Structure 1
Amino acid sequence: MSNWKTAYRSFYYENAEEPDDLLLPPAETALLVIDIQNTYLEVPDDPVEAARWQPFFDRMNTQVIPNTVTLADWARKVGIEVIFARIACQKDDGRDRSLSQKKPGFNYLLLPKDREDSQMVPELTPQGDEITVLKTTDSALTGTNLRLILHNMGIRNVIVAGIFTDQCVSSSVRSLADESFNVVVVEDCCAAAMEDLHRRELEIINMIYCHVVQSEDVFATSP
Protein backbone atom coordinates (compact mmCIF):
# COMPACT_ATOMS: atom_id res chain seq x y z
CA MET A 1 0.00 0.00 0.00
CA SER A 2 1.17 3.52 -0.74
CA ASN A 3 1.61 5.98 2.09
CA TRP A 4 -0.80 8.52 0.57
CA LYS A 5 -1.29 10.26 3.91
CA THR A 6 2.20 11.74 3.79
CA ALA A 7 2.89 11.85 0.04
CA TYR A 8 2.63 14.91 -2.21
CA ARG A 9 2.94 17.38 0.67
CA SER A 10 3.55 21.03 -0.23
CA PHE A 11 5.26 23.57 2.01
CA TYR A 12 1.90 24.43 3.59
CA TYR A 13 1.23 20.88 4.73
CA GLU A 14 4.70 19.48 5.46
CA ASN A 15 3.92 19.25 9.17
CA ALA A 16 0.16 18.82 9.06
CA GLU A 17 -1.49 15.91 10.86
CA GLU A 18 -2.34 12.86 8.79
CA PRO A 19 -5.84 12.74 7.27
CA ASP A 20 -8.41 10.15 8.25
CA ASP A 21 -8.70 6.86 6.40
CA LEU A 22 -10.52 6.92 3.07
CA LEU A 23 -14.25 6.37 3.31
CA LEU A 24 -16.03 5.98 -0.03
CA PRO A 25 -19.55 4.59 0.48
CA PRO A 26 -20.62 3.44 -3.01
CA ALA A 27 -24.08 5.05 -2.86
CA GLU A 28 -22.48 8.42 -2.09
CA THR A 29 -19.49 8.18 -4.44
CA ALA A 30 -18.87 8.77 -8.13
CA LEU A 31 -15.85 8.21 -10.34
CA LEU A 32 -15.26 11.16 -12.70
CA VAL A 33 -13.09 10.42 -15.74
CA ILE A 34 -11.91 13.66 -17.36
CA ASP A 35 -10.89 14.26 -21.00
CA ILE A 36 -9.19 10.96 -21.89
CA GLN A 37 -10.11 11.63 -25.51
CA ASN A 38 -8.84 10.45 -28.88
CA THR A 39 -7.37 13.83 -29.77
CA TYR A 40 -4.79 13.63 -27.00
CA LEU A 41 -3.41 10.30 -28.21
CA GLU A 42 -2.72 11.55 -31.75
CA VAL A 43 1.02 11.63 -32.41
CA PRO A 44 2.16 14.91 -34.05
CA ASP A 45 3.41 14.70 -37.65
CA ASP A 46 6.48 16.74 -36.75
CA PRO A 47 9.06 14.21 -35.48
CA VAL A 48 10.60 16.75 -33.10
CA GLU A 49 7.22 17.52 -31.55
CA ALA A 50 6.36 13.81 -31.47
CA ALA A 51 9.56 13.09 -29.55
CA ARG A 52 8.81 15.90 -27.12
CA TRP A 53 5.43 14.35 -26.31
CA GLN A 54 6.59 10.73 -26.26
CA PRO A 55 6.89 10.47 -22.45
CA PHE A 56 3.26 11.60 -22.16
CA PHE A 57 2.10 9.03 -24.72
CA ASP A 58 4.07 6.33 -22.92
CA ARG A 59 2.47 7.19 -19.58
CA MET A 60 -1.01 7.30 -21.11
CA ASN A 61 -0.73 4.00 -22.97
CA THR A 62 1.11 1.97 -20.36
CA GLN A 63 -0.31 3.40 -17.14
CA VAL A 64 -3.12 5.95 -17.20
CA ILE A 65 -5.51 4.31 -19.67
CA PRO A 66 -5.08 0.71 -18.39
CA ASN A 67 -5.30 1.84 -14.76
CA THR A 68 -8.39 3.95 -15.41
CA VAL A 69 -10.07 1.03 -17.17
CA THR A 70 -9.38 -1.11 -14.10
CA LEU A 71 -10.62 1.68 -11.82
CA ALA A 72 -13.86 2.06 -13.79
CA ASP A 73 -14.45 -1.70 -13.80
CA TRP A 74 -13.92 -1.79 -10.03
CA ALA A 75 -16.32 1.14 -9.55
CA ARG A 76 -19.04 -0.57 -11.55
CA LYS A 77 -18.54 -3.79 -9.60
CA VAL A 78 -18.92 -2.15 -6.18
CA GLY A 79 -21.80 0.13 -7.22
CA ILE A 80 -19.99 3.44 -7.67
CA GLU A 81 -21.39 5.61 -10.46
CA VAL A 82 -18.99 6.19 -13.37
CA ILE A 83 -19.30 9.61 -15.03
CA PHE A 84 -17.33 10.98 -17.96
CA ALA A 85 -16.47 14.56 -18.88
CA ARG A 86 -15.07 15.49 -22.25
CA ILE A 87 -14.19 18.67 -24.09
CA ALA A 88 -16.74 19.08 -26.88
CA CYS A 89 -18.49 22.09 -28.37
CA GLN A 90 -22.08 22.12 -29.58
CA LYS A 91 -21.39 24.36 -32.58
CA ASP A 92 -19.18 23.14 -35.42
CA ASP A 93 -17.35 26.46 -35.51
CA GLY A 94 -16.81 26.46 -31.75
CA ARG A 95 -18.55 29.74 -31.01
CA ASP A 96 -19.86 28.28 -27.76
CA ARG A 97 -16.38 27.62 -26.36
CA SER A 98 -15.08 29.48 -23.33
CA LEU A 99 -12.29 31.99 -23.87
CA SER A 100 -9.69 29.59 -22.45
CA GLN A 101 -10.36 27.22 -25.35
CA LYS A 102 -10.27 29.94 -28.01
CA LYS A 103 -6.87 31.38 -27.13
CA PRO A 104 -4.00 30.50 -29.51
CA GLY A 105 -1.55 27.83 -28.46
CA PHE A 106 -1.88 24.36 -26.93
CA ASN A 107 -5.21 25.02 -25.25
CA TYR A 108 -6.89 26.11 -28.50
CA LEU A 109 -9.41 23.33 -28.97
CA LEU A 110 -12.04 22.93 -31.65
CA LEU A 111 -13.72 19.61 -30.90
CA PRO A 112 -17.29 19.40 -32.21
CA LYS A 113 -19.21 16.95 -30.05
CA ASP A 114 -19.86 14.31 -32.72
CA ARG A 115 -16.41 14.25 -34.27
CA GLU A 116 -14.25 11.19 -33.68
CA ASP A 117 -11.33 13.04 -32.12
CA SER A 118 -13.59 14.46 -29.41
CA GLN A 119 -14.77 11.01 -28.21
CA MET A 120 -13.36 9.17 -25.22
CA VAL A 121 -10.69 6.63 -26.15
CA PRO A 122 -12.23 3.24 -27.11
CA GLU A 123 -11.10 1.56 -23.89
CA LEU A 124 -13.11 4.10 -21.89
CA THR A 125 -16.32 4.22 -23.85
CA PRO A 126 -19.22 4.84 -21.43
CA GLN A 127 -21.33 1.75 -20.73
CA GLY A 128 -25.11 1.49 -20.51
CA ASP A 129 -26.68 4.64 -19.08
CA GLU A 130 -23.44 6.10 -17.73
CA ILE A 131 -23.50 9.88 -17.93
CA THR A 132 -21.19 11.97 -20.09
CA VAL A 133 -21.08 15.74 -19.66
CA LEU A 134 -19.77 17.92 -22.48
CA LYS A 135 -17.73 20.93 -21.49
CA THR A 136 -16.26 23.96 -23.19
CA THR A 137 -14.44 24.95 -20.01
CA ASP A 138 -11.54 23.46 -18.10
CA SER A 139 -13.64 22.67 -15.04
CA ALA A 140 -16.10 19.83 -15.48
CA LEU A 141 -18.32 21.51 -12.90
CA THR A 142 -18.33 25.10 -14.13
CA GLY A 143 -19.45 24.53 -17.71
CA THR A 144 -21.94 21.68 -17.28
CA ASN A 145 -24.87 20.53 -15.15
CA LEU A 146 -22.58 18.09 -13.31
CA ARG A 147 -23.12 19.87 -10.01
CA LEU A 148 -26.87 19.29 -10.27
CA ILE A 149 -26.39 15.69 -11.38
CA LEU A 150 -24.16 14.89 -8.41
CA HIS A 151 -26.51 16.54 -5.93
CA ASN A 152 -29.57 14.84 -7.40
CA MET A 153 -27.87 11.45 -7.11
CA GLY A 154 -26.82 12.02 -3.51
CA ILE A 155 -23.10 12.05 -4.32
CA ARG A 156 -20.77 13.45 -1.67
CA ASN A 157 -17.44 11.92 -2.72
CA VAL A 158 -15.83 12.19 -6.16
CA ILE A 159 -12.90 10.05 -7.30
CA VAL A 160 -11.08 11.84 -10.12
CA ALA A 161 -9.03 10.38 -12.98
CA GLY A 162 -7.97 11.94 -16.27
CA ILE A 163 -5.94 14.62 -17.98
CA PHE A 164 -4.33 17.06 -17.82
CA THR A 165 -3.37 17.07 -14.14
CA ASP A 166 -2.37 20.73 -14.18
CA GLN A 167 -5.29 21.93 -16.29
CA CYS A 168 -8.75 20.33 -16.47
CA VAL A 169 -8.16 17.91 -13.61
CA SER A 170 -6.97 20.65 -11.30
CA SER A 171 -9.74 23.05 -12.34
CA SER A 172 -12.38 20.39 -11.77
CA VAL A 173 -10.93 19.39 -8.40
CA ARG A 174 -10.90 22.96 -7.17
CA SER A 175 -14.50 23.53 -8.30
CA LEU A 176 -15.66 20.33 -6.64
CA ALA A 177 -13.88 21.22 -3.40
CA ASP A 178 -15.43 24.69 -3.40
CA GLU A 179 -18.83 22.99 -3.64
CA SER A 180 -17.92 20.90 -0.57
CA PHE A 181 -17.51 17.55 -2.30
CA ASN A 182 -14.89 15.24 -0.82
CA VAL A 183 -12.42 14.72 -3.67
CA VAL A 184 -9.88 11.96 -4.20
CA VAL A 185 -7.42 12.22 -7.10
CA VAL A 186 -5.92 8.94 -8.29
CA GLU A 187 -2.32 9.74 -9.19
CA ASP A 188 -1.65 6.70 -11.36
CA CYS A 189 -4.78 7.46 -13.40
CA CYS A 190 -3.74 11.04 -14.27
CA ALA A 191 -1.09 12.71 -16.42
CA ALA A 192 0.28 16.08 -17.41
CA ALA A 193 2.45 16.80 -20.42
CA MET A 194 5.53 16.40 -18.22
CA GLU A 195 6.07 14.38 -15.06
CA ASP A 196 7.35 17.48 -13.29
CA LEU A 197 4.15 19.40 -14.03
CA HIS A 198 2.09 16.40 -12.92
CA ARG A 199 3.86 16.10 -9.58
CA ARG A 200 3.97 19.82 -8.84
CA GLU A 201 0.26 20.25 -9.46
CA LEU A 202 -0.58 17.30 -7.23
CA GLU A 203 1.47 18.89 -4.45
CA ILE A 204 -0.42 22.14 -4.94
CA ILE A 205 -3.93 20.65 -4.74
CA ASN A 206 -3.26 17.89 -2.21
CA MET A 207 -4.62 18.23 1.33
CA ILE A 208 -6.59 21.42 0.67
CA TYR A 209 -8.68 20.58 -2.41
CA CYS A 210 -8.37 16.79 -2.45
CA HIS A 211 -6.42 13.81 -1.25
CA VAL A 212 -3.94 12.39 -3.74
CA VAL A 213 -3.86 8.59 -3.64
CA GLN A 214 -2.99 5.56 -5.74
CA SER A 215 -5.56 3.26 -7.30
CA GLU A 216 -4.62 0.53 -4.81
CA ASP A 217 -5.68 2.85 -1.98
CA VAL A 218 -9.09 3.31 -3.57
CA PHE A 219 -9.53 -0.43 -4.11
CA ALA A 220 -8.75 -1.02 -0.44
CA THR A 221 -11.87 0.93 0.60
CA SER A 222 -14.21 -1.80 -0.65
CA PRO A 223 -15.06 -4.75 1.63
Structure 2
Amino acid sequence: MSWKTAHRSFYYANAEEPEDIRLDPKTTALLVIDLQETYMEDKDTPEETARWQPFYDRMRKTVIPNNARLIAECRARGVEVIFARIACMKLDGRDRSLSQKKPGFNYLLLPKDRPDGQVIKEIAPQDDEITIIKTTDSALTGTNLRLVLHNMGIKDVICSGIFTDQCVASTVRSLADESFGVVVVEDCCAAATMELHNHELDIINMIYCHVVHLDEVLEFFD
Protein backbone atom coordinates (compact mmCIF):
# COMPACT_ATOMS: atom_id res chain seq x y z
CA MET A 1 0.00 0.00 0.00
CA SER A 2 1.29 3.46 -0.90
CA TRP A 3 2.01 6.13 1.72
CA LYS A 4 -0.75 8.16 0.08
CA THR A 5 -3.46 5.74 1.23
CA ALA A 6 -1.97 4.01 4.31
CA HIS A 7 -2.59 4.94 7.96
CA ARG A 8 -5.87 6.76 7.37
CA SER A 9 -7.76 7.77 10.52
CA PHE A 10 -11.50 8.42 10.64
CA TYR A 11 -10.84 12.07 9.87
CA TYR A 12 -9.03 11.33 6.63
CA ALA A 13 -10.67 8.09 5.51
CA ASN A 14 -12.23 9.78 2.48
CA ALA A 15 -9.70 12.54 1.87
CA GLU A 16 -8.05 13.01 -1.49
CA GLU A 17 -4.60 11.56 -1.94
CA PRO A 18 -1.85 14.04 -1.02
CA GLU A 19 0.42 15.51 -3.65
CA ASP A 20 3.83 14.02 -4.35
CA ILE A 21 6.51 15.00 -1.85
CA ARG A 22 9.75 16.52 -3.05
CA LEU A 23 12.61 17.05 -0.61
CA ASP A 24 15.54 19.34 -1.27
CA PRO A 25 18.60 18.00 0.59
CA LYS A 26 19.75 21.57 1.28
CA THR A 27 16.57 22.41 3.21
CA THR A 28 15.87 19.00 4.74
CA ALA A 29 17.05 17.55 8.06
CA LEU A 30 16.83 14.05 9.48
CA LEU A 31 15.93 14.02 13.18
CA VAL A 32 16.73 10.74 14.97
CA ILE A 33 14.82 10.69 18.25
CA ASP A 34 15.87 8.92 21.47
CA LEU A 35 17.60 5.89 19.99
CA GLN A 36 19.67 5.44 23.13
CA GLU A 37 21.47 2.51 24.72
CA THR A 38 19.27 2.53 27.83
CA TYR A 39 16.24 1.39 25.86
CA MET A 40 18.01 -1.77 24.73
CA GLU A 41 18.82 -2.93 28.26
CA ASP A 42 16.97 -5.76 29.98
CA LYS A 43 14.25 -4.81 32.43
CA ASP A 44 14.36 -5.35 36.19
CA THR A 45 12.87 -8.85 36.06
CA PRO A 46 12.99 -11.72 33.55
CA GLU A 47 9.21 -11.52 33.26
CA GLU A 48 9.29 -7.85 32.32
CA THR A 49 12.13 -8.42 29.87
CA ALA A 50 10.09 -11.16 28.23
CA ARG A 51 7.09 -8.84 27.99
CA TRP A 52 9.24 -6.34 26.09
CA GLN A 53 10.86 -8.93 23.82
CA PRO A 54 8.81 -8.01 20.71
CA PHE A 55 10.04 -4.43 21.07
CA TYR A 56 13.68 -5.56 21.38
CA ASP A 57 13.23 -7.79 18.33
CA ARG A 58 11.80 -4.97 16.22
CA MET A 59 14.59 -2.66 17.32
CA ARG A 60 17.38 -5.13 16.47
CA LYS A 61 15.89 -6.54 13.27
CA THR A 62 14.20 -3.47 11.79
CA VAL A 63 14.58 -0.10 13.49
CA ILE A 64 18.34 0.04 14.12
CA PRO A 65 19.37 -1.40 10.71
CA ASN A 66 16.88 0.84 8.91
CA ASN A 67 18.05 3.92 10.77
CA ALA A 68 21.63 3.06 9.89
CA ARG A 69 20.64 2.92 6.23
CA LEU A 70 18.54 6.09 6.42
CA ILE A 71 21.34 8.01 8.12
CA ALA A 72 23.89 6.81 5.55
CA GLU A 73 21.59 7.76 2.67
CA CYS A 74 20.98 11.22 4.16
CA ARG A 75 24.68 11.81 4.74
CA ALA A 76 25.43 10.82 1.15
CA ARG A 77 22.83 13.31 -0.11
CA GLY A 78 24.04 16.17 2.07
CA VAL A 79 20.98 16.12 4.33
CA GLU A 80 21.66 17.48 7.82
CA VAL A 81 21.54 14.62 10.37
CA ILE A 82 20.48 15.65 13.87
CA PHE A 83 20.09 13.48 16.96
CA ALA A 84 17.89 14.07 19.99
CA ARG A 85 18.35 12.23 23.24
CA ILE A 86 16.76 12.34 26.67
CA ALA A 87 19.26 13.44 29.32
CA CYS A 88 19.36 15.73 32.33
CA MET A 89 22.03 18.29 33.16
CA LYS A 90 21.91 17.78 36.93
CA LEU A 91 22.94 14.48 38.53
CA ASP A 92 19.80 14.49 40.67
CA GLY A 93 17.62 15.24 37.65
CA ARG A 94 15.80 18.18 39.13
CA ASP A 95 16.01 19.95 35.74
CA ARG A 96 13.75 17.32 34.15
CA SER A 97 10.21 18.07 33.04
CA LEU A 98 7.38 16.81 35.23
CA SER A 99 6.59 13.93 32.87
CA GLN A 100 10.09 12.50 33.45
CA LYS A 101 9.80 12.82 37.22
CA LYS A 102 6.51 10.98 37.62
CA PRO A 103 6.69 7.34 38.71
CA GLY A 104 6.12 4.69 36.08
CA PHE A 105 7.54 3.97 32.63
CA ASN A 106 8.27 7.61 31.77
CA TYR A 107 10.38 8.14 34.90
CA LEU A 108 13.94 8.50 33.71
CA LEU A 109 16.96 9.75 35.62
CA LEU A 110 19.65 9.84 32.96
CA PRO A 111 22.51 12.32 33.48
CA LYS A 112 23.86 13.50 30.13
CA ASP A 113 27.30 11.87 30.36
CA ARG A 114 26.23 8.37 31.41
CA PRO A 115 27.08 5.67 28.84
CA ASP A 116 23.54 4.28 28.75
CA GLY A 117 22.21 7.70 27.76
CA GLN A 118 24.27 7.87 24.57
CA VAL A 119 23.01 7.21 21.06
CA ILE A 120 23.10 3.53 20.12
CA LYS A 121 26.62 2.86 18.84
CA GLU A 122 25.54 1.45 15.47
CA ILE A 123 24.12 4.85 14.51
CA ALA A 124 26.32 7.20 16.55
CA PRO A 125 26.71 10.84 15.43
CA GLN A 126 29.72 11.67 13.27
CA ASP A 127 31.94 14.73 12.92
CA ASP A 128 29.99 17.91 13.75
CA GLU A 129 26.49 16.41 13.60
CA ILE A 130 24.25 18.09 16.15
CA THR A 131 22.88 16.29 19.20
CA ILE A 132 20.01 17.94 21.04
CA ILE A 133 19.72 17.10 24.73
CA LYS A 134 16.17 17.28 26.02
CA THR A 135 14.34 16.89 29.32
CA THR A 136 10.97 16.88 27.56
CA ASP A 137 9.12 14.56 25.20
CA SER A 138 9.19 16.98 22.27
CA ALA A 139 12.64 17.70 20.89
CA LEU A 140 11.54 21.30 20.26
CA THR A 141 10.05 22.09 23.66
CA GLY A 142 12.69 23.44 26.00
CA THR A 143 15.57 23.14 23.51
CA ASN A 144 17.10 25.40 20.87
CA LEU A 145 16.25 22.99 18.04
CA ARG A 146 13.64 25.32 16.58
CA LEU A 147 16.24 28.10 16.31
CA VAL A 148 18.88 25.72 14.95
CA LEU A 149 16.58 24.50 12.18
CA HIS A 150 15.57 28.01 11.20
CA ASN A 151 19.19 29.23 11.24
CA MET A 152 20.20 26.44 8.86
CA GLY A 153 17.32 27.16 6.50
CA ILE A 154 15.57 23.84 7.15
CA LYS A 155 12.01 23.58 5.84
CA ASP A 156 11.34 19.82 6.00
CA VAL A 157 12.18 17.34 8.75
CA ILE A 158 12.33 13.56 8.43
CA CYS A 159 11.67 11.90 11.80
CA SER A 160 12.68 8.47 13.07
CA GLY A 161 13.17 6.88 16.46
CA ILE A 162 11.28 5.93 19.62
CA PHE A 163 8.76 5.85 21.03
CA THR A 164 6.27 6.39 18.22
CA ASP A 165 3.39 7.21 20.55
CA GLN A 166 5.42 9.40 22.91
CA CYS A 167 8.52 11.41 21.99
CA VAL A 168 8.21 10.89 18.25
CA ALA A 169 4.56 11.96 18.16
CA SER A 170 5.17 14.88 20.50
CA THR A 171 8.06 16.12 18.38
CA VAL A 172 6.07 15.72 15.18
CA ARG A 173 3.22 17.83 16.56
CA SER A 174 5.64 20.55 17.65
CA LEU A 175 7.33 20.61 14.26
CA ALA A 176 3.97 20.83 12.49
CA ASP A 177 2.89 23.68 14.74
CA GLU A 178 6.06 25.52 13.70
CA SER A 179 5.08 25.00 10.02
CA PHE A 180 7.83 22.54 9.13
CA GLY A 181 6.97 19.87 6.61
CA VAL A 182 7.26 16.55 8.48
CA VAL A 183 7.78 13.02 7.23
CA VAL A 184 7.78 10.07 9.65
CA VAL A 185 9.55 6.92 8.48
CA GLU A 186 7.36 4.12 9.81
CA ASP A 187 9.89 1.30 9.61
CA CYS A 188 12.52 3.43 11.36
CA CYS A 189 10.29 3.88 14.44
CA ALA A 190 8.96 1.71 17.25
CA ALA A 191 6.57 1.83 20.18
CA ALA A 192 6.33 -0.69 22.99
CA THR A 193 3.85 -2.69 20.89
CA MET A 194 2.90 -2.71 17.23
CA GLU A 195 -0.67 -1.87 18.23
CA LEU A 196 0.48 1.36 19.89
CA HIS A 197 2.83 2.09 17.00
CA ASN A 198 0.19 1.73 14.30
CA HIS A 199 -2.51 3.49 16.29
CA GLU A 200 -0.35 6.58 16.78
CA LEU A 201 0.66 6.65 13.13
CA ASP A 202 -3.02 6.64 12.18
CA ILE A 203 -3.58 9.62 14.47
CA ILE A 204 -0.71 11.85 13.31
CA ASN A 205 -0.74 10.97 9.61
CA MET A 206 -1.89 13.61 7.12
CA ILE A 207 -2.59 16.32 9.69
CA TYR A 208 0.80 16.59 11.42
CA CYS A 209 2.98 14.64 9.01
CA HIS A 210 3.07 12.11 6.23
CA VAL A 211 3.86 8.55 7.30
CA VAL A 212 6.04 6.69 4.81
CA HIS A 213 8.36 3.70 4.53
CA LEU A 214 12.13 3.93 4.16
CA ASP A 215 12.15 2.98 0.49
CA GLU A 216 9.50 5.63 -0.20
CA VAL A 217 11.24 8.53 1.53
CA LEU A 218 14.42 7.95 -0.45
CA GLU A 219 12.42 8.56 -3.63
CA PHE A 220 11.34 12.02 -2.44
CA PHE A 221 14.73 13.67 -2.90
CA ASP A 222 15.29 15.95 -5.88
Q: If the length of structure 2 is used for normalisation, what is the TM-score?
A: 0.99
Superposed displacement of residue 222, structure 1: 3.2
Question: Counterpart in 2 of 1:164?
Answer: 163
Q: Does 1:199 align with 2:198?
A: yes
Question: Counterpart in 1 of 2:84?
Answer: 85
Secondary structure (helix, strand or coil) at the match of 2:187 reads strand
Question: Counterpart in 2 of 1:214?
Answer: 213
Superposed displacement of residue 45, structure 1: 4.1
Question: Counterpart in 1 of 2:140?
Answer: 141
Question: Counterpart in 1 of 2:175?
Answer: 176
Superposed displacement of residue 177, structure 1: 0.1
Q: Does 1:66 align with 2:65?
A: yes
Give, in whole Å, the separation in 2 of the partners of 1:136 and 1:222.
Answer: 32
Q: Does 1:19 align with 2:23?
A: no
Question: Counterpart in 2 of 1:32?
Answer: 31
1:171-202 CA distance string (max 9 Å, x none):
00000000000000000000000000000000
1:6-36 CA distance string (max 9 Å, x none):
0000000000011111111001100000000
Superposed displacement of residue 221, structure 1: 2.1
1:81-101 CA distance string (max 9 Å, x none):
000000000000001000000
Q: Is the 8 A contact 2:22 2:221 kept in 1?
A: no
Question: Counterpart in 2 of 1:54?
Answer: 53
| 1:85 counterpart letter in structure 2 | A
Two-structure CA RMSD over aligned residues (Å): 0.7
Secondary structure (helix, strand or coil) at the match of 1:60 reads helix
Question: Counterpart in 2 of 1:128?
Answer: 127
Q: Paired residues, what number?
A: 222
| % same residue | 70
1:48-90 CA distance string (max 9 Å, x none):
1011000000000000000001000000001100000000000
Give, in whole Å, the separation in 2 of the partners of 1:195 and 1:120.
Answer: 23
Moved over 4 A (4+): none
| 1:29 counterpart letter in structure 2 | T
Secondary structure (helix, strand or coil) at the match of 1:202 reads helix
| 2:94 counterpart letter in structure 1 | R
